Structures are given as structure tokens and as C-alpha cells.
Amino acid sequence: MQLLKISEYARNCEQQSPRFTPEIYIFETTTEVDTFAATRLIEQVQAKPASILTLPTGNTPVGMYKQVVNAYNQRLTDLHAVTIFNLDEYYPISQEHPNSYAAIMKRHLINHLLVAAWHIPNGEAKDPELEAERYKQLLEQHQPIDLAILGIGPGTTCHIGFNEKGSSIGSNVRYVPLHPETKEANAKLFDNPRDIPDGTITQGIADILQAKQILVIAKGTSKAWGINRALKGPVSSDAPASFLRLHPNVTFVLDKNAGQYIQ
């Protein structure tokens, strides 16, 4: 059940002109968030079979991918012409490590269906700067991205991709050290928390804002602060997700816990 559609919300927030008004959907359950996001992805591919997508990893999109794979298995969608760019990857990390974003993407999506191409930064590359440059050039060859789907960082990180606090609006694909708060949160997802790498290679804020459409998905109370901060207060690099308010076509889809401060 959809609780609220608050396109009015951002209009009422403290804003500096010119800013755009994100669409915001808040759902009672996380499954409804997954369904909304999966439907948006499938509709995008229906409208343009050779879509270029930026896709996230982490826990948040797992349910969305499950629904996309279900739809694929029922022949309700066909992604054979789609090109996928992952948003980010840890660095350094073995692609075989179960917590690498490469392994997570394979587990939840790539192993289950056919796509035209799938690109992700190589966590095993010798030089992260060179690898970032390679990925940046590849991305540039395919831009503009048709649809970018993102999560948001937990706690007060307010990151998108691994664009941590201090990331500039003009940033492109690059190596970014993990912020200590992100490191602490994500280390809990590793069997051995000490295995968490120090860094990442991530699409930059400018790469994300370059997409034609952006869909932000967030679930749970750990995202509530970041969602509120992204939508309120100054658009500034101390809250990288706030830069999304500079894009004309952004949708936030939240469960009621992630959306608790903005209802």
C-alpha cells in the first residue's frame, strides 16, 4: 500500500534556488519498495530495450533484483540488449570475495539472466587510479545513462555510491577511501570485519547526475537521517546525497522507516 506521495514535500523544505522537486514515495513494507523499483527498471527496459543502466549493490537492492529475476523467468521482461554499469566496488578486493560487489551482482542478478554487457570497477586492478580512469572512460563512452538506481549510506554518511562527505559536485569515477562511519557499518557485513578494504572505486557525483533519470531506494531506520538530510538543508558536499536535488528527474522510494522524518 502506498502511504504518501509527497511531491509537495521538497517545495516546503529549506531550499536555495534553483532546485528541483524530487518525487517521493513512502511504502508500508520493504517488499513494496522492491516492487516499485523492479517495475521502474522493467518499464525502462520495455520502453528502450538497449537501455544503459547504473545499478547498485548492498543489501537494499537485493529484493528488487529478486523481482526482476522472477519477471525474467516468467518471460515478463527481457534484458538481453541492456548494458549495466555498477555504481561502485571496494578496492582492493578479490572478485571472488563473497562481499565484493562483483560477487554480489553475480549472485543476485548477473548469473540469472542474459544482458548485453555488464561493467564494474575491478577491485583486483594493480593501480586504483588507473582502474578508475579506465572505468571513467568506458562510462563516458556510454553516457548518458538512461536510469541510475542508487541506495544511500547509513547513519550520517549521506553518501551515494561511495561518494563520501567532501565529494564535490563535479567529481567523476575515482578512488575514494572509505569514511570511518561507512567502514564501521559495512564491516559488519563481512564474515571477518577486519577483511573490509580501505577504499573503493566509485562513480562520481557528476556521473550520477548525468543520468536521465535517478531512482533512490532506501529501507530501514538507519537510512532515516540521511534521507531527511538529503532532502532538507543546504545542498552541499557534507551531505553528498543532497546534490540529487540539483537533478530534474529524481524519485525517492522509501519504506516507512527510512521515510519516518519526512512524513
Question: Which of helix, strand or coil describes residue 104?
Answer: helix
Question: Which of helix, strand or coil describes residue 233?
Answer: coil
Question: What is the closest distance, in whole angstroms, from the C-beta atom of residue 59 to ligand PGA in the complex?
Answer: 4
Question: What is the closest distance, in whole angstroms, from the C-beta atom of residue 19 to ligand PGA in the complex?
Answer: 22
Question: Which of helix, strand or coil describes residue 172?
Answer: coil
Question: What is the closest distance, in whole angstroms, from the C-beta atom of residue 121 to ligand PGA in the complex?
Answer: 15
Q: At what angle do helices 62-73 and 101-108 cross, to 10 degrees?
A: 40
Which is closer to ligand PGA, CB of 15 or CB of 260? 260
Q: Is 226 in the site for ligand PGA (CB under 6 A)?
A: no
State the Cα–Cα distance between residues 229 and 233, nearest whole angstrom: 7
Which is closer to ligand PGA, CB of 25 or CB of 65? 65
Residue pair 234/75 in contact by the 8 Å Cβ criterion:
no
Which is closer to ligand PGA, CB of 59 or CB of 263? 59
Sign of CA dihedral 132, 133, 138, 140: positive
Tell me the number of residues near ligand PGA by CB under 6 A: 8
Residue that is written with C-alpha cell 564535490 in the block: 168
Which is closer to ligand PGA, CB of 123 or CB of 154? 154
Backbone phi, psi, residue 255, to 5°:
-85, 170
Residue 41 Cα to chain centre, angstroms: 13
Question: What is the closest distance, in whole angstroms, from the C-beta atom of residue 76 to ligand PGA in the complex?
Answer: 25
Which is closer to ligand PGA, CB of 116 or CB of 187? 187
What Rg, from alpha-carbon coordinates, does the chain have?
A: 17
Residues 38-97 binding ligand PGA (CB under 6 A) are: 58-60
Which is closer to ligand PGA, CB of 49 or CB of 155? 155
Which is closer to ligand PGA, CB of 133 or CB of 181? 181
State the Cα–Cα distance between residues 51 and 253, nearest whole angstrom: 21
Stretch 151-190: interaction string toward ligand PGA, x if CB under 6 A: xxxx----x-------------------------------
Residue of closest CB approach to ligand PGA? 58
Residue pair 139/207 in contact by the 8 Å Cβ criterion:
yes
Question: What is the closest distance, in whole angstroms, from the C-beta atom of residue 154 to ligand PGA in the complex?
Answer: 6
Question: What is the closest distance, in whole angstroms, from the C-beta atom of residue 47 to ligand PGA in the complex?
Answer: 26
Residues 1-40 binding ligand PGA (CB under 6 A) are: none
Please give the single-letter amino acid code of residue 263.
Q
Residue pair 89/123 in contact by the 8 Å Cβ criterion:
yes
Residues 94-153 binding ligand PGA (CB under 6 A) are: 151-153
SS3 content of the chain, % helix, strand, coil (to 5): 35, 20, 45
Which is closer to ligand PGA, CB of 25 or CB of 90? 90
Question: What is the closest distance, in whole angstroms, from the C-beta atom of residue 2 to ligand PGA in the complex?
Answer: 22
Residues that bind ligand PGA (CB under 6 A): 58-60, 151-154, 159
